[in-house]
Amino acid sequence: MPRARKTITDEASCLTPRQIEILTLIRDGRRANGYSPTLQELADELDISKITVFEHVEALLKKRKLTRRSNKARSLALTSSVRLPDDRPTLLRVVGRIAAGRPIEAVESAETIDL
């Protein structure tokens, strides 16, 4: 009986919890410093070996979740297709209010709340 083969799109969308942590650290490092952390800094932060971080980074490069410039230190960057669980908009539109007691007129306003 032939084994089912994974398609490239299935593999690319499948991230391990550790890979999500690595992507999050790279994103946060780039936001804070303007450049990505080194593999050793990632290893120290996650309390794992540098070779393990290297293997995860290589897997993320193959899944096209990361890019890296050759011969350039600290050049890891997330691709535009990456959506992390903690990525969400912080500016929410207020659509209306709920009145306690008497009914109020339903008038839409252009209010926003920045979390």
Domains and their CATH numbers in the chain: 8-78 (1.10.10.10)
CB neighbours of residue 66 within 10 Å: 22
> How would you class 53 by CB atoms within 10 Å of its CB: exposed for 0-12, middle for 13-18, buried for 19 or more?
buried
Per residue in 35-91, pLDDT tens?
Answer: 999 999 999 999 999 999 999 999 999 999 999 998 888 999 999 888 887 776 666
Gap between the terminal Cα atoms of the chain: 54
Q: Binning pLDDT at 50, 70 and 90, where does residue 2 land?
A: low
pLDDT of the residue at 10: 43
- 14 band by pLDDT with thresholds 50, 70 and 90: confident
The confidence score (pLDDT) of residue 103 equals 66
pLDDT value for 73: 87
Q: What is the pTM of this model?
A: 0.65
18-46 burial string, b = 16+ CB within 10 Å, else e?
A: ebbbbbbbbbebbeeeeebbebeebbeee
* pLDDT over 50 (residue 12): no
Q: Give the whole-angstrom CA distance, residue 11 versus residue 72.
A: 27
Q: What is the pLDDT of residue 71?
A: 87
